[in-house]
Amino acid sequence: MNQWKNFSKGFFKENAVFTLLLGMCPALGVTSSAINGLGMGLATTFVLVMANIVVSMVKNFIPDKVRIPAFIVIIAAFVTVVEMVMQAYMPSLFESLGLFIPLIVVNCLVLGRAEAFASKNTVGSSVIDGAGMGLGFAMALTMLGGVRELLGSGHFFGWAIYPEDYGMLVFVLAPGAFIALGYLIAIINRFKKA
Amino acid sequence: MGKSASTLPNMVLTLLIVTAIAGSSLGFIYQLTKAPIEAAATAKQQEAIELVMPGFDNDPAAEMYEIQSDEGFVLKVFPAKKEGEFIGAAIESVTNKGFSGEIRIMVGMKPNGDIVNYQILEHKETPGLGTQMDDWFKPAEAGAEEKSRSAFFDAFYGIKAKAEGGEDTKSIIGKNPGTSRLTVRQDGGEVDAITAATITSRAFLHAVEVAYKTFTEKADAASSATKQEEGGAE
């Protein structure tokens, strides 16, 4: 398979959030600001790449019937690593992402790539696939977070753009996540068809 | 190489190996990150103590003791001393009267109960409304954002951000819960509640009051008791 296509499919053609609608829980839950979205996206990317590497390496040793539990243990191990490292070196980001870090374990995107791609392909392709899907996910979360932060609190990556009083609070809250995501998907679909 | 077959010994062995490797590597990472995680938590606590009760030269975290409030919450008291003299304490207080979940605050008080400063440690209040308590109850000059906002409004609408008499009706800094009625205006108190977040304001002031009551009524007894215990242990 063409490796560039393998990498770039994660951004638009098979983007986890905008096209596949996978990983909605973190995508809607943590994206109240662009930096939260980016942090969550990069944490997921790390887990995705590492899990893809390990799964593609051990795929022949794991009997078919127990592959899902084995994959989940591998993914959970990497998630816990991310959680502990983040708590140690990025405590403020850890606080704002909170509960959603352990939830990467059950992010369908990670298990989905392990099952659908890494367990059938070589280590090299799996790394590229994981990086592409992960960065596409991070991009989507950052865009969603950026839109919500800009409309909701008048900031962008923490920089004040206009006074907070004029922000539409709903975009910081949960309903705003759905509204913003819906419009982003609509815009992206428009460009994909063109 | 063929795929390993799904026989029982194969499956058990595979899962055993996978979990053993995952478990041992996590143990290793845990050992590596344990010290930095603790250091980060201590640094945050130390920062909060220095903000709410500045000017001490002892180690409040080392002399910390816990007392129980009437509501059954455990409050942490960090005594601040300068040249051996007790100048006040940073008190970690908590309330469950918030809009959602617990609110944990750190409030600094002089020995007589005058509020020096406060900081919100942890909360789950509504973003944009309840979250304003970070700066709301401090004097207007304290928050830089508050300043820019009022300047902005002054320029375009001529609205005065402060009340007419010049007295700050939001700030609790420098006031004493024993002599001032530190409840929201709706409850007959002296403090302006956060616009559209009265519940959060009530909860915050409740946490301050709990800290004050527990500190003034129980702290001395508890602190001398702790000292006696320490003396006995030595």
CA distances, B80 to each of A48, B77, B97 (Å): 48, 9, 28
**Model confidence at B172: pLDDT above 90:** no
Residues of A in contact with B26 (CB under 8 A): 77, 80-81
Q: In what order do the strands lie in the sheet with B103-109?
A: B65-68, B74-82, B85-95, B103-109, B115-122
* Most A-contacting residue of B37, B46, B99 (CB-CB within 10 A), to test interface: B37
Which pLDDT does position B219 carry in this prediction? 58
Query: Given CB atoms, is A99 within the 8 Å cutoff of chain B?
Result: no
Q: Which tokens in the block code for residue B132?
A: 């304003």
State how far the Cα of B51 lies from the Cα of B17, in Å rounded to an integer. 50
**Model confidence at B227: pLDDT above 70:** no
Task: Please state the rounded mean pLDDT for residues A170-191.
Answer: 86
Counting the structural domains of chain A, the total is 1
Complex confidence, ipTM: 0.72
Task: Please state the rounded mean pLDDT for residues A19-23.
Answer: 82
Q: Name the pTM for this structure.
A: 0.70
B201 assigned to some structural domain: yes
Are the CB atoms for B69 and B75 separated by under 8 Å? yes
Task: Please state the rounded mean pLDDT for residues B212-217.
Answer: 78
Which pLDDT does position B143 carry in this prediction? 42
Which pLDDT does position A79 carry in this prediction? 92
Which pLDDT does position A4 carry in this prediction? 81
**Residue A19 backbone phi and psi in degrees, to 5:** -110, -50
Q: What is the pLDDT of residues A137-157, one digit of tens each?
A: 999 999 998 888 888 877 777
Which pLDDT does position B218 carry in this prediction? 64
Query: Given CB atoms, is A31 within the 8 Å cutoff of chain B?
Result: no
Q: Test B44 with A84 for CB contact under 8 angstroms.
A: no
The residue in chain B having the minimum alpha-carbon distance to the alpha carbon of residue A82 is B29
B187 assigned to some structural domain: yes
B19 assigned to some structural domain: no
**Model confidence at A126: pLDDT above 80:** yes
Task: Please state the rounded mean pLDDT for residues A45-56.
Answer: 91
Q: Over the range B116-141, which residues count as b (16 or more CB within 10 Å of their CB) and which as e?
A: bbbbbeebebbebbbbbbebbbbeee
Counting the structural domains of chain B, the total is 1
Which pLDDT does position B127 carry in this prediction? 65
**Model confidence at B148: pLDDT above 60:** no
Which pLDDT does position B141 carry in this prediction? 52
Which pLDDT does position B230 carry in this prediction? 42
Place of tokens 């759905």: A178
Picking from A76-80, B6-10, B127-131, which range would have the lowest pLDDT averaged per residue?
Answer: B127-131
Query: Given CB atoms, is A80 within the 8 Å cutoff of chain B?
Result: yes
Q: What is the extent of the structural domain holding A58?
A: 2-17+24-193
Residues of A in contact with B4 (CB under 8 A): 60-63
State how far the Cα of B3 lies from the Cα of B127, in Å rounded to an integer. 52
Higher pLDDT: B157 or A31? It is A31
DSSP class per residue in B164-206: TTS--SS--TT--TTTS--SBGGGT-SBPPBTTBHHHHHHHHH
Which pLDDT does position B3 carry in this prediction? 67
Q: What is the extent of the structural domain holding B206?
A: 44-156+170-224
**Model confidence at A158: pLDDT above 80:** no
Q: Which tokens in the block code for residue B131?
A: 């979250």
Query: Given CB atoms, is A74 within the 8 Å cutoff of chain B?
Result: yes
B36 assigned to some structural domain: no
As a whole number, the mean pLDDT across chain B is: 74
Higher pLDDT: B35 or B227? It is B35
DSSP class per residue in A23-53: -HHHHHHSTTSHHHHHHHHHHHHHHHHHHHH
Task: Please state the rounded mean pLDDT for residues B50-59.
Answer: 78
B198 assigned to some structural domain: yes
Task: Please give the helix or strand (H or E) that residue B93 lies within, else none.
Answer: strand B85-95
**Model confidence at B24: pLDDT above 90:** yes
B24 assigned to some structural domain: no
| A62: closest CA of chain B, how far (Å) | 6
**What part of B 101-140 touches A (C-beta under 8 Å)?**
126-129
Which pLDDT does position A194 carry in this prediction? 64
Picking from A21-25, B15-19, B73-77, B161-165, which range would have the lowest pLDDT averaged per residue?
Answer: B161-165
Which pLDDT does position A45 carry in this prediction? 92
